Every structure is written in structure tokens, then in C-alpha cells.
Amino acid sequence: MLQIISNEWKALLRIKTFSYLSSFFAISLGLVSFLGNEHNKQQAVQQKKATAEVRKNWEGIEEMNPHRAAHYGSFAFRPVTPLSGIDDGVNVTTGNVIRMEGHLQNEAMYSEASQSLSMSKFGKLTPSLVLQFVIPLFLIFLAFNSVSKEREQGRLKLLVLQGASLPKLVVAKALAIWTYGILLLLFTIGAQILLNLQNFMADHLWKLSLLFFSYGMYYYVITALTVYFSARLVNNIAALSSMIAVWLLWTIFLPRIWSNSVEKLYPLPSRHEFKTAMEKDRSQGVDGHNPSDKRGKAFEQKILTQYKVDSLSQLPVNFDGMLMQQDEEYGNQVWDKHFGNSYSILQQQKRSYQFCGIIIPLVSLQDISMGLCGSDMLHFVDFQLQAEQYRRVLVKTLNDKQTYGGSKTGDWSWEENNDFYRSVKDFEYRAPAFKKILPKYCINLFALISWVALTTVLIITGSKKTSIL
């Protein structure tokens, strides 16, 4: 089998067009990897400057009322990762900055697409775009006549008569062409590592290893299926036409049909419906800036009873801070209800879309690719949740300072000094570790492994029925 693979490579290397195209792919992959990495570096530098400026302004607060500082707020910046240069996934369309302040849970803003005039409807040229669409197509053109051409020229019969096993011959041809895709994949991953040597950690290497494994499986499926058609169909044209049809279905038609079906099956509320429902529920809670409303009065009576006093002036704490925090607690419940519902729907959509990989292996590959590069919806949601958790801790810290820091109810002129504000820790996003995200993509891995097994069985059993004439 190794001899057959070696002979296949020698035949490929004798074709000048193959050498030219290989050089073109290597240059293209190296260039898009470099440009993607440079873009990430620029974005990281901008975020670092913005983060430092926000922190400088916060620590520069000399004296301020804690609740005013809650409205002053802070910002959470979603950092780029070394692997997002390979596949930027949803990062282009989702926001990268969240403003964190009292009374409000803001959405992410300042997406790359909203700030760029160069974004086409096809998206940016990234290594993932080349690896997922262009390279498989080239593998199809290399493999479509691998067996049929041998049969048409009479060499297949000669090889069999000389003692070559037909199943081994077909499998070896598939492996020879698959190896070419693996080499391009290794080149891309190697370039990515070299461009990010200073930022790479063990966790990134684990993700890259699984990324390589996933792309390798998809390339094998494409190559093996093409060789199967080449062995079973009557001529080159039939084999090429059949595989191109499969490629079009997998890359264009079926993913769109399945995606639209999933969105209809598990619909998200529109932006207007979502904001209207949030505002309606929010208005039914305590208003921290209107202590005279009936809910505020009920909370006031509860606190007076708790401290066994008759008026707010007798409280040993600042009731204003308590009322503000009560407002926040209710707002948090509203946020958990509506955002939690949206997250639940997104998870249902994702799980349903993952099952699509049983029919369309490209879907599984894309999901794994985005997940390992930290650019899928799960990572974006994780960023939102961490930012919201920090916002709640920040606002509660400020409200507690107003409540228990020594001020009196109604004394809004009371201010806290700089030492307190400098003691408040800054937001720091921690991306999920490899072992935490791996279980979320088991369905995708299972689908790809199943396709590898299926196509292996196809080419082995199909080759036994292949006509050598």
C-alpha cells in the first residue's frame, strides 16, 4: 500500500499545474494567516489601550458618591485569542464591548462588521474559509479520476492481474490524495503557531490538536467519497458531477435549509419584543430612584420593622443604598428570566443544528472549528455572562458602601474617597478551558467519526464490486 501511495505522489509531482496550485495554496494560507494574526494583534493593542484608559479613569476618581459611581460604570472588553486568527466565527457580527452600570444590563456593542466598510456578504478571507471550502474542492478535482482513469486506460486490469488487491489499491489512492490535504493543514497550523509563539499555552495546543484531527477527518471523508464515486461510476464525468453535487449540497443548500428550519422550530423573540417584555417586567419592581412608589414604601416598612425603628432617620444604615440594591436585585431577576430564556433557545438551536452533522459533515467541522477557536456563540454567551456577573458584584459593592459606609439616608452629598475606588478589582474575562468546552462538541466529533467509518466501509466494499474493464 505504501508503494502505491508513493507512486501516486510521484505522478502528482510530475504535473506542473499541481505544483503551481500547491504553491498558490501555500502562499494563500500563509498570507491569510499572517493578515488574520496582524488584525488580531491590532485589535488586542486597541483593547489593551482602552482597558487601561477605562481603569485609569476609574482609579482617578478622587471623591464621588458610590451610587453616582455605579452610573459612571465601567466597560468589559472581549479579548481576542491566538486561535481566532484561524476562524473568527461569529466574532465579526457580535459586539466586543459591554458597558456595565447600575440599573441597566446593556447588550454587547461595536461589532467589527458595524465598523468596517470592507465587509462583503461573503465575509473576510480567513484560513478557515480556505480550509473548509477551497481545499476540499481541490481534493475532489485530484481524486475524481483516480480509479476511473486507471480503468479507462487499462492499467487497473493490469495491476490486478499482477497481484494487486483492488480494495488496497483504492484505499491507497484515497490516502495519497488525503495526505495532500493534511500537508496543507499542517502548514496552516504551523504558521499559526509561529505567528503566536509568545501567546501560546498548553490549552491552545490541545485545541489545535483537536482542530487538526477534525479537519483531517473531514478531508478524509471528502477524498474517500470522491474515490468511491470514481471506482463505482462509469466514467470521470459522472464521478466529478456526482461529487460536485454533494459538495454543493453540503456547503450551500442543506446547511441553509436546516438552519432556517431550526430557527423556525425554536424562534428567538425579535429585538423589539425582547426589549418591550424586559421593560414591562422591570417596571413592576422597586424603583430605586422613586422611594415613594408603593413597592418602595412596602420595602421601607419591611426595613423599619427589621431594625425595629419608626422612621428612616433612626436607621443605623443608609436606606437609599438598600433601596438601590433592592432595585438591582429585581432587575437581576428580570435579566435572568429573559436572557435565560434566550440562552435556552440558543442552546436548543445549537443542539438541533449539531445533529445536522449526521447528514452534513461540514456543519460538524464548522461548529468544532469555531468552538476550538473561541469564536462561536457559546463563547460569546460566556463573555456576556461573566460581564453581567461582574456588573452585579460591582454595583452591589458600591450600593453596600453607600448603605454601610457611614452616610445617612437622604444625604446624597456624601462621597467616598479614592482609596475605596482603587480597591475595586477590574473585570477580567477568563475563556473556558479545553476540558470544559470539549463535552459541548461531542455530537460533532461523533458525527465526523461516523462519516469516516461510513466512507471507509464504502470504499472497501465498493472496490470489491468495481469493474476492472
User: Quick one: which of 208, 182, 212 has its CA closest to 195?
Assistant: 208
Give percent of the chain above pLDDT 70: 93
pTM: 0.90
Tens-place pLDDT, residues 185-195: 999 999 998 98
pLDDT of 462 > 80? The answer is: no
pLDDT at 417: 92
293 lies in a domain?
no
Of residues 37 and 215, more confidence is placed in 215
* Full 3-state SS string of the chain: CHHHHHHHHHHHHCCHHHHHHHHHHHHHHHHHHHHHHHHHHHHHHHHHHHHHHHHHHHHCCCEECHHHHHHHCEEEECCCCHHHHCCCHHHHCCCCEEEEECCEECCCECCCHHHCCCCCCCCCCCHHHHHHHHHHHHHHHHHCCCCHHHHHCCHHHHHHHCCCCHHHHHHHHHHHHHHHHHHHHHHHHHHHHHHCCCCCCHHHHHHHHHHHHHHHHHHHHHHHHHHHHHHHCCCHHHHHHHHHHHHHHHHHHHHHHHHHHHHHHCCCCCHHHHHHHHHHHHCCCCCCCCCCCHHHHHHHHHHHHHHCCCCHHHCCCCHHHHHHHHHHHHHHHHHHHHHHHHHHHHHHHHHHHHHHHHCCHHHHHHHHHHHHCCCCHHHHHHHHHHHHHHHHHHHHHHHHHHHHCCCCCCCCCCCEEHHHHHHCCCCCCCCCCHHHHHHHHHHHHHHHHHHHHHHHHHHHHHHHCCCCC
398 lies in a domain?
no
pLDDT at 123: 54
Task: Find the distance separating the first CA and the last CA of the chain, reported in whole Å.
Answer: 22
Give the confidence band of 121 by pLDDT, cuts at 50, 70, 90: very low
372 lies in a domain?
yes
pLDDT at 233: 85
Alpha-carbon distance of 93 to 125, in angstroms, equals: 15
407 lies in a domain?
no
313 lies in a domain?
no
Give the number of other CB atoms < 10 A from CB of residue 6.
12
* Number of domains into which the chain is organized: 1
Range of the domain at 261: 2-268+331-383+417-464
395 lies in a domain?
no
Residue 360: all three cell numbers together = 452534513
pLDDT of 118 > 70? The answer is: no
249 lies in a domain?
yes
- Return the bridge partners of 327, or none: none
Tens-place pLDDT, residues 330-387: 999 999 999 889 999 999 999 999 999 999 999 999 999 999 999 999 999 999 999 9
Q: C-alpha angle with apex 428: 381 to 207, nearest 5 degrees?
A: 60
Tens-place pLDDT, residues 25-51: 999 999 999 988 888 888 889 999 999
224 lies in a domain?
yes
* Location of C-alpha cell 498548553: 202
pLDDT, average across residues 118-132: 72
Alpha-carbon distance of 393 to 389, in angstroms, equals: 6
- Between 29-33, 157-161, 243-247, 276-280, the lowest mean confidence (pLDDT) is in 157-161
Give the confidence band of 232 by pLDDT, cuts at 50, 70, 90: confident
One-letter amino acid at 78 equals R
